[in-house]
């Protein structure tokens, strides 16, 4: 960017920013004439996409700061008011990340400045509780300030609509258009005035109680807890996030012996004990596992900072093994649907929903119980949209859904992934199999023998900055113009392009427009043995993800099937590595 234009943008930001610390950052960079650092902060505006926005905390138009939060909220307010809603309102929650409380308050005061009644949580709360609150209070919209499981330098802003789900068409594009129009015309209101006029209300315990009741309703066998609840031992870590209060409250309410890792129990946006506050990462569970070994715990659980993702580890001989999101989803689907079928509580047309990159083992499991399996794009906003579609069209009834990235949703009181309800169902499932004389790993092996062995890998590559966007576009363009026709000895039989909704059937040389999902920049390569390889650039972060799920039937032994799948995954991994520029 031209230095004169760069300086102009920086000085404009300084003039508009109300946060002194953020303003000072940019002033100091200008004084030092650090043009490279300034370019990184001003080469583009932090994009408000279909999922909201997420970025590195700091001063600049390409950073998360009070100004960008105020702009986004003014755009959201403009859109809400354009809908002609009577008595518009919104709910706001925030997690333990740096400046989350500041950003949440800024958003609340902008909404109030536009005459929109706002309910702001008095302290940090999990994302699923915000989703619940939108429906519980009947608000027009909702906001969560969180960057989920990203590193500590990030924060973000997610928008929800009146159904409790993250915004989808047409609202997402309508909000984006309004946000882009906002430059400096931001209406805000002092907190004292907002409170005095009844536009701002702080919420807390009353909503907590309603949310906890909703979580408790998802328990399938309450008698199991009454008779055996004291027999299962849980080690839990909230990873310095929002999970401690809700997870402890729900588990202990059922008489569960839960030990919370003390070093990670308190909220801390610097996440000092972990490199990444991500329950998918083995390193994030190291402290919890050390306590589990001492206490001989039956299950280790971890939630991410906003408590929408759940990761677990279980005993395996003398140590513990991490269960993947795909595996936990398979186990929960098996337990939930088998239990409800046994107890006669399955609806007439039960539905299970999974994302397109989640293992097909789950499809095989639920269909064995007579359950419909529906697929959606990655992101729980699409799960919420599918639930709404079922309800509006009188279709099947949603029971459970999973995403490979450790997201699970039981029931429909919440319309986003919910680690709190998933935690109590995981403990219930563990207790059930324990009473039956089985471990979770033994049950998982039974499922493999019945439906075939499945294993997945995920390759994530980050390309930061302006050049990174072009690199990711180049990768996807090459995969479309020169797609792989085989992975080792396995031929590609289908290429699914979710951008234009088509499937190319290679043996027939025929392309059909048959993908009835919103357009998304995702490619899938289906192999002749049922394995699937997917490529998906992130919509909120400068990264691209490659998913591979390989499978093999269990013929002579499970170990032989595992060996075959491992060899397939090694071939796929080498090919994916070749797609990524050095």
- Paired tokens of 378: 């990655």
Residue linked to tokens 């003039």:
15
Tokens of 338: 């088998």
Q: Do 92 and 207 reside in the same domain of the chain?
A: yes
Residue 333 lies in a domain: yes
Number of folded domains in the chain? 4
Strand order across the 372-376 sheet: 372-376, 350-355, 397-403, 407-410
pLDDT tens-digit profile of 486-544?
999 999 999 999 999 999 999 999 999 999 999 999 999 999 999 999 999 986 667 89
**Is 98 among the domain residues?**
yes
The domain containing residue 530 runs over which residues? Answer: 453-579
| 523 contacts 496 by C-beta, under 8 angstroms | yes
State residue 140's pLDDT score: 98
Residues 477 and 457 in one domain: yes
Shared domain for 372 and 392, answered yes or no, is yes
Task: For the full predicted model, state whether its pTM sits above 0.85.
Answer: yes
pLDDT digits (tens, 9 = 90+) for 298-320: 999 999 999 999 999 999 988 99
Q: Is residue 446 part of a domain?
A: no
Domain match, 58 and 191 both:
yes
Of 271, 290, 323, the position where a domain reaches its end is 323
pLDDT at 392: 95
pLDDT in tens, 42-70: 999 998 987 799 999 999 999 999 999 99
Question: Which of 323, 344, 372 is a domain's end point?
Answer: 323
Quick one: 207 and 58 in the same domain? yes
**Whether residue 317 sits in one domain with residue 330:** no
Residue 26 included in any domain: no
- Say which CATH number the domain at 462 has: 3.30.310
Same domain, 162 and 277: no
pLDDT of residue 470: 85
Asked whether residue 569 is assigned to any structural domain, the reply reads yes
In a domain, 72, yes or no: yes
Which residue from 346, 355, 401 is spatially nearest to 520, judged by alpha carbons?
A: 355
Calculate ∠ Cα 328-333-335, nearest 5°. Answer: 95
Tell me, rounded to whole angstroms, the distance of Cα 350 from its chain centroid: 24
What the block records as the tokens of 221 is 């066998």
Confirm if 1 and 45 have CB atoms less than 8 A apart: no
179 in any annotated domain: yes
Which of 182, 211, 240 marks a domain boundary?
211
Same domain for 403 and 336, yes or no, is yes
In a domain? residue 7: no
Instruction: Dihedral sign for Cα 171, 176, 181, 187, please.
Output: positive
* The one catalytic residue among 148, 421, 549, 552: 148
Verify that 68 and 81 share a domain, yes or no. Answer: yes
Cβ-contact 119, 160 below 8 angstroms: no
Both 180 and 108 in a single domain?
A: yes
Contact status, residue 109 vs residue 188, Cβ threshold 8 Å: yes
Q: Is there a single domain that holds both residue 72 and residue 117?
A: yes
Based on the domain organization, do 107 and 205 belong to the same domain?
yes
Six-digit token pair at 519? 């357009």
Cβ atoms within 10 Å, residue 86: 5
CATH label of the domain that carries residue 379: 3.40.120.10
Supply the DSSP symbol for 411.
S
Residue 148 is among the residues annotated as catalytic for this protein = yes
């Amino acid at each position: 960017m031209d230095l004169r234009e760069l300086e102009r943008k920086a000085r404009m930001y300084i003039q508009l920013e109300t946060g002194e610390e953020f303003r000072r950052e940019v002033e100091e960079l200008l004084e030092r004439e650090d043009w490279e650092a300034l370019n990184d902060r001003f080469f583009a505006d932090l994009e408000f996409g279909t999922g909201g926005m997420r970025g590195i905390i700091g001063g600049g138009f390409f950073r998360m700061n009070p100004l960008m939060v105020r702009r986004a909220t003014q755009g959201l307010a403009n859109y809400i008011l354009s809908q002609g809603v009577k008595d518009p309102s919104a709910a706001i929650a925030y997690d333990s990340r740096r400046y989350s409380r500041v950003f949440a308050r800024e958003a609340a005061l902008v909404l109030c400045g536009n005459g929109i009644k706002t309910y702001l949580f008095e302290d940090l709360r999990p994302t699923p509780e915000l989703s619940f609150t939108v429906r519980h209070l009947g608000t027009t919209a909702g906001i969560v300030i969180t960057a989920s499981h990203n590193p500590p330098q990030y924060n973000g802003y997610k928008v929800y609509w009146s159904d409790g789900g993250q915004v989808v068409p047409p609202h997402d594009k309508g909000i984006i258009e309004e946000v882009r129009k906002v430059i400096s015309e931001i209406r805000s209101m002092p907190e004292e005035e907002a409170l005095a006029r009844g536009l701002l209300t702080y919420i807390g315990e009353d909503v907590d109680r309603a949310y906890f009741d909703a979580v408790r309703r998802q328990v399938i066998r309450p008698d199991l807890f009454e008779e055996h609840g004291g027999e299962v031992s849980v080690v839990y870590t909230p990873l310095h996030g929002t999970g401690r209060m809700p997870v402890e409250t729900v588990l202990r309410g059922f008489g569960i012996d839960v030990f919370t890792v003390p070093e990670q129990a308190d909220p801390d946006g610097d996440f000092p004990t972990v490199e990444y506050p991500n329950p998918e990462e083995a390193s994030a569970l190291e402290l919890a596992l050390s306590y589990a070994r001492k206490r001989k715990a039956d299950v280790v659980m971890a939630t991410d900072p906003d408590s929408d993702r759940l990761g677990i580890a279980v005993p395996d001989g003398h140590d513990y093994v991490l269960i993947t999101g795909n595996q936990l989803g398979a186990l929960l689907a098996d337990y939930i649907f088998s239990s409800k079928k046994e107890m006669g509580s399955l609806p007439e047309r039960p539905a299970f929903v999974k994302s397109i990159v989640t293992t097909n083992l789950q499809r095989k499991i639920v269909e064995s119980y007579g359950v419909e399996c529906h697929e959606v794009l990655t992101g729980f906003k699409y799960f919420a949209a599918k639930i709404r579609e079922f309800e509006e069209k009188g279709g099947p009834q949603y029971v459970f859904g999973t995403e490979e990235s450790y997201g699970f949703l039981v029931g429909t009181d919440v319309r986003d992934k919910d680690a709190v309800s998933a935690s109590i169902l995981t403990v219930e499932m563990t207790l059930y199999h324990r009473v039956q004389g089985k471990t979770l790993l033994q049950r998982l092996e039974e499922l493999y023998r019945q439906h075939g062995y499945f294993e997945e890998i995920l390759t994530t590559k980050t390309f930061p900055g302006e050049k990174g966007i072009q690199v990711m576009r180049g990768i996807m363009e090459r995969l479309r113009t020169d797609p792989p026709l085989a992975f080792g000895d396995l031929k590609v039989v289908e290429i699914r392009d979710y951008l234009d909704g088509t499937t190319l059937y290679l043996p027939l040389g025929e392309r059909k427009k048959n993908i009835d999902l919103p357009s998304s920049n995702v490619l899938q390569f289906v192999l002749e043995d049922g394995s699937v390889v997917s490529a998906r650039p992130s919509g909120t972060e400068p990264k691209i993800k490659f998913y591979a799920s390989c499978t093999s039937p269990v013929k002579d032994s499970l170990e032989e099937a595992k060996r075959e799948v491992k060899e397939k995954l090694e071939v796929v991994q080498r090919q994916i590595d070749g797609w990524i520029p050095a």
